A and B are shown apart, each in its own frame.
Chain A
Amino acid sequence: MRFPLIALACAPCFALPALAAEEEAQTLTVYTYDSFVSEWGPGPAVEEAFEAVCACDLNFVGVGDGAALLARVRLEGERTRADVVLGLDTNLTAEAAATGLFAQHEVLDVAWDLPVVWEDDMFVPYDWGYFAFVHEAAFDPPGDFRDLASSDASILIQDPRSSTPGLGLLLWVEAAYGEAAPEIWAELADNVVTVTKGWSEAYGLFLDGEADMVLSYTTSPAYHLIAEGDDSKRAAPFAEGHYMQIEVAGAVASSPNLPLAQSFLRFLATDPVQSVLPTTNWMYPAVTPEGGLPEGFETLIAPERALLYPAGQVPEIKAQALDTWLGALSR
């Protein structure tokens, strides 16, 4: 049973040279979020590496952030020019799958280095991280949400309606506290300095000293350490565990380049991509590259519990959690 599946999954790999011979300048269009394609993101390295093996032209189109990416694809519907959509996360995949725009991925033989078992047959993970509150080393952080709520520590968070970390926090509190989540939010309200549109604004405000902590990732301190030689940032470990974000890509079913798109999804799990993600996207790679993680990542906190709702449950939980959140913070 296992062998034929692998053979099937690997069909695109074998098909690659043939494809290249048939059509020389086949173009693969990949919609992704802006920061992926910027010259500091993974985009340029991924493009170069894939074009070296696919004999095709890889064309990244940067579209805002993860949430905007899904809106854009929905706006375009079946007429979309995208062959691949890269940059959704597990909180968005249920809605994305419901559009019926995505094909099965056929990438089944990869040993994912994820804290959870990967079972989605439509989207392929490429990196992941834990949400965490980031603070200056000198600041003494609370140990969990209850601690935070009763302290006078100030935090910067993102709006769950416009930002993936914002939504992540919503689900984090929900996953950790369930019924008690409204109570936690009500008590957190006075710790929240402001709610920004996206991660960038909140993180920028944090670096400018506007609050004690900012909602970001456990990997954020690695950026400062590796890129800037600055070891002054820490992520606060929370006893409840940390909610996860798994970033994924999917192939568009109506794409005329579907085989090429699927071979790209497979390519995402390989070393040339996985080895650049930690220091460009500043996230954990979905498959640990041969050389291991970059130096500096070993200093990061490792949450004891990984929290993650199954993708299918997210829309319902999100709707109800959003009401709670709006209620608590609108007072």
Chain B
Amino acid sequence: MARRAQPLTLAGIGAAGLVGALILGTAVAVLAEAGRGRLGPADWAALRFTVVQAGLSAALSVGLAIPVARALARRRFAGRGLLITLLGAPFILPVIVAVLGLLAVFGRSGWVSAGLQAVGLPPLSIYGLHGVVLAHVFFNLPLAVRLILHGWQAIPAERFRLAASLGFGPGDVARVLERPMLRSVVPGALLVVFLICTTSFAVALTLGGGPRATTVELAIYQAVRFEFDLGRAALLALVQIALTGAVALAALGAAVPDGMGAGLGRVVARWDADAPMARRVDAVWIGLGALFLLAPLLSVVLRGAPGLLDLPGAVWAAAGRSAVVALVSAALAVTMAFAVAVAVARLGRRSGRAVEATAMLGIAASPLVIGTGLFLLTFPAVDPVTLALPVTASVNAVMSLPFALRALIPAVAAAERNHGRLADSLGLVGWRRHWRATLPAIRRPLGFAAGLAAALSMGDLGVVALFADASSGTLPLALYRLMAAYRMDDAAAAALLLLAASLALFWVFDRGGRGHVEA
């Protein structure tokens, strides 16, 4: 693969470099402003809590995802494709919307508690570590299901056919086919969920139940916003990056699964799972998974629908701004991801991994520290308000880059593997090669990555809060402002709008990527 450096390869290295500079540079800028920081015992407690909750969340998300993914992998039913798409919704849901939805279901006066009280049992309390973990499982179960389901579908149909011809029962299929697959997919899925949960902020804030549930990101927030201890904030950000880096290194053997952008529509014919018991077990798992993931969404819809048409104009304007930011952010994310993916495919194994790892830093970064650092760096030169939307779009792009990369790196590598030599022989080089040969081959993961980036950006509140004022706010900010003005019904309607906009953005891109080819 040693070819001469091409512009796009350089662009990919450049993009990764920029991401690294943005994440580490802003932390250093904050640290420089502050002189030096010191971490106290509370910060170490926050680190401990972060690790515990992320570990539990990862274990539970992946543990529950296995039976759900198995059931989805081996059952064919009407609406299966729609269900899989909807099951993905929580992952792209704005945190505040999700928390409202979870409370409507699991809160003290939520549906579950109402049911418990009807039979004379005490209501649930979801505040505390278990609440944080519950919310994280809600967010990450869909991702874990997706990754593991992809693992299942990556087992060639022919193997199941072979297994059937050899008279394998379900146990034999599990031992010979499924467990080896899980051994290769599960560690990576655990790693991804763990990393996502380490930077949790809003969930811990609302459901944590008190200061004992303080995550590192939350400690950063308090250091920046309230105690104005920038040095501590920067140090905490570096600790967070070190933590995720260490975990990623420890799990180096575990290749992160590549299921992000792949089609999940295929159902492989299975002869080992026809027993009525297996059918029932699968039906229960699919039902429970769907209930757990969809009931909170349903509550958001029910609560928000009555006020939707009466929403003030400012909210619609904010929604428009959010959509623009989301589109720009998605364009930035996939452009960077494509350049990085090409660079990774072209470069040698070692430098390729380095570029990839740098570009993946976003998963561990603190948006608040990036925002503060950018603020400190740009403030002397420019009015931060004018930068609010561009900065939000860029930072959101960096934060969703890891997911875009997981979708695009394997796809670009596969495209090179499958058609690289053909393209070489036809003299297709440079942009024409990417336009004619690579892009069409990766259209589907590209659409998925763009949809994910747009949806994640739509719901993000992290950075914009630091820069924006009322006239340049995004939809999540408008939602908070409605809540601050006692307008909870409007806020509920705005939450529904946010949910619908996030899902619609994801759906449009993902659909566009699929084109006419049915899954």
Q: Do chains A and B touch in the complex (CB under 8 A)?
A: yes
State the A residues within 8 Å of B (CB): 34-35, 37-41, 43, 60-65, 67-68, 70-72, 74-76, 79, 81, 154, 159, 161-162, 189, 192-201, 203-205, 207-211, 220, 223-224, 227, 282, 325-326, 329-331
Q: Is B500 an interface residue (CB 8 A)?
A: no
Contacts of B205 in A (CB 8 A): 159, 196-197, 201
Contacts of B202 in A (CB 8 A): 197
- Check A76 against B379 for contact (C-beta < 8 Å): yes
- Check B103 against A205 for contact (C-beta < 8 Å): yes
A-facing mask of B482-507, CB < 8 A → 1, else 0?
11111110010000000000000000
> Looking at chain B's contact residues, is the secondary structure mostly helix, strand, loop, or mixed?
helix
- The total of Cβ contacts below 8 Å across the A-B interface reads 144
Contacts of A282 in B (CB 8 A): 486
Q: Is B316 an interface residue (CB 8 A)?
A: no
**With A34-B481, A39-B314, A207-B488 as given contacts, are A197 and B206 in contact (CB-CB < 8 Å)?**
yes
- Check A62 against B470 for contact (C-beta < 8 Å): yes
- Check B107 against A209 for contact (C-beta < 8 Å): yes
Q: What is the CB-to-nearest-CB distance from B223 to chain A, in angstroms, rounded to a whole number?
A: 9
Q: Closest B-chain residue to A327, C-beta based?
A: B211
Once the chains are docked, how many angstroms separate the CA of A209 from the CA of B100? 12
Contacts of A198 in B (CB 8 A): 484
- Check B226 against A199 for contact (C-beta < 8 Å): no
Contacts of B207 in A (CB 8 A): 194
- Check A162 against B375 for contact (C-beta < 8 Å): no
Q: What is the CB-to-nearest-CB distance from B287 to chain A, in angstroms, rounded to a whole number?
A: 27
Instruction: List 25 A–B pairs whose Cβ atoms lie within 8 Å, in order of A's numbering.
Output: A35-B485, A40-B482, A41-B485, A64-B225, A67-B225, A67-B226, A68-B225, A75-B372, A76-B379, A189-B210, A192-B209, A192-B210, A193-B125, A194-B131, A195-B210, A195-B211, A197-B205, A197-B221, A200-B483, A201-B205, A208-B109, A209-B107, A211-B108, A282-B486, A329-B210
Q: What is the CB-to-nearest-CB distance from A189 to chain B, in angstroms, rounded to a whole number?
A: 8
- Check A38 against B485 for contact (C-beta < 8 Å): yes
Q: Is B274 an interface residue (CB 8 A)?
A: no
Interface residues of B in 221-246 (CB under 8 A from A): 221-222, 224-228, 230
Once the chains are docked, how many angstroms separate the CA of A58 from the CA of B466? 21
- Check B486 against A161 for contact (C-beta < 8 Å): no
State the B residues within 8 Å of A (CB): 42, 45, 100, 103-104, 107-109, 125, 127, 131, 202, 205-212, 221-222, 224-228, 230, 312, 314, 372, 375-376, 379-380, 383, 385, 465-466, 468-470, 473, 477, 480-488, 491
Q: What is the CB-to-nearest-CB distance from A250 to chain B, in angstroms, rounded to a whole number?
A: 17
Q: What is the CB-to-nearest-CB distance from B218 to chain A, in angstroms, rounded to a whole number?
A: 8
**With A329-B211, A330-B212 as given contacts, are A209 and B109 in contact (CB-CB < 8 Å)?**
yes
- Check A162 against B487 for contact (C-beta < 8 Å): no
Contacts of B100 in A (CB 8 A): 204, 208
Partner of A326, one of B211, B372, B379, B470: B211
Partner of B227, one of A63, A81, A161, A196: A161
Contacts of A196 in B (CB 8 A): 205-206
Contacts of A79 in B (CB 8 A): 379-380
Once the chains are docked, how many angstroms separate the CA of A271 from the CA of B387? 36
Contacts of B488 in A (CB 8 A): 203-204, 207-208
- Check A61 against B379 for contact (C-beta < 8 Å): no
Once the chains are docked, how many angstroms separate the CA of A133 from the CA of B480? 22
Q: What is the CB-to-nearest-CB distance from A191 to chain B, in angstroms, rounded to a whole number?
A: 11
Once the chains are docked, how many angstroms separate the CA of A209 from the CA of B314? 28
Contacts of A64 in B (CB 8 A): 225, 465-466
Most chain A beta-carbon neighbours within 10 Å: one of B225, B230, B380: B225
Contacts of B482 in A (CB 8 A): 38, 40
Partner of B480, one of A70, A200, A224: A200
Most chain A beta-carbon neighbours within 10 Å: one of B100, B108, B221, B375: B108
Partner of A63, one of B108, B469, B481: B469
Once the chains are docked, how many angstroms separate the CA of A241 from the CA of B486? 25
- Given A195-B210, A209-B107, 10 other A-B contacts at CB below 8 A? A34-B470, A35-B484, A38-B470, A75-B228, A81-B383, A196-B205, A197-B205, A210-B108, A329-B210, A331-B212
Q: Closest A-chain residue to B314, C-beta based?
A: A39
Contacts of A192 in B (CB 8 A): 209-210
Once the chains are docked, how many angstroms separate the CA of A40 from the CA of B487? 9
Once the chains are docked, how many angstroms separate the CA of A37 from the CA of B230? 27
Contacts of A81 in B (CB 8 A): 383
Once the chains are docked, how many angstroms separate the CA of A65 from the CA of B205? 16
Partner of A162, one of B104, B221, B465, B484: B221
Once the chains are docked, how many angstroms separate the CA of A40 from the CA of B491? 13
Q: Closest B-chain residue to A223, C-beta based?
A: B486
Once the chains are docked, how many angstroms separate the CA of A88 from the CA of B456? 33
Contacts of A209 in B (CB 8 A): 107-109
Q: What is the CB-to-nearest-CB distance from A290 to chain B, in angstroms, rounded to a whole number?
A: 26
**With A34-B480, A38-B485, A68-B225 as given contacts, are A208 and B103 in contact (CB-CB < 8 Å)?**
yes
Once the chains are docked, how many angstroms separate the CA of A197 from the CA of B96? 12
Contacts of B211 in A (CB 8 A): 159, 195, 325-326, 329-330
Q: What is the CB-to-nearest-CB distance from B468 to chain A, in angstroms, rounded to a whole number?
A: 8
Contacts of B372 in A (CB 8 A): 75
Once the chains are docked, how many angstroms separate the CA of A161 from the CA of B100? 23
- Check B222 against A38 for contact (C-beta < 8 Å): no
- Check B206 against A201 for contact (C-beta < 8 Å): yes
- Check B127 against A162 for contact (C-beta < 8 Å): no
The 8 A-B residue pairs whose C-beta atoms are closest, nearest first, are A209-B109, A200-B483, A35-B484, A62-B470, A40-B485, A194-B127, A61-B469, A37-B470
Most chain A beta-carbon neighbours within 10 Å: one of B131, B466, B482, B484: B484
Once the chains are docked, how many angstroms separate the CA of A326 from the CA of B481? 28
- Check A227 against B314 for contact (C-beta < 8 Å): no
Q: Closest A-chain residue to B313, C-beta based?
A: A39
**With A79-B379, A210-B103 as given contacts, are A194 and B210 in contact (CB-CB < 8 Å)?**
yes
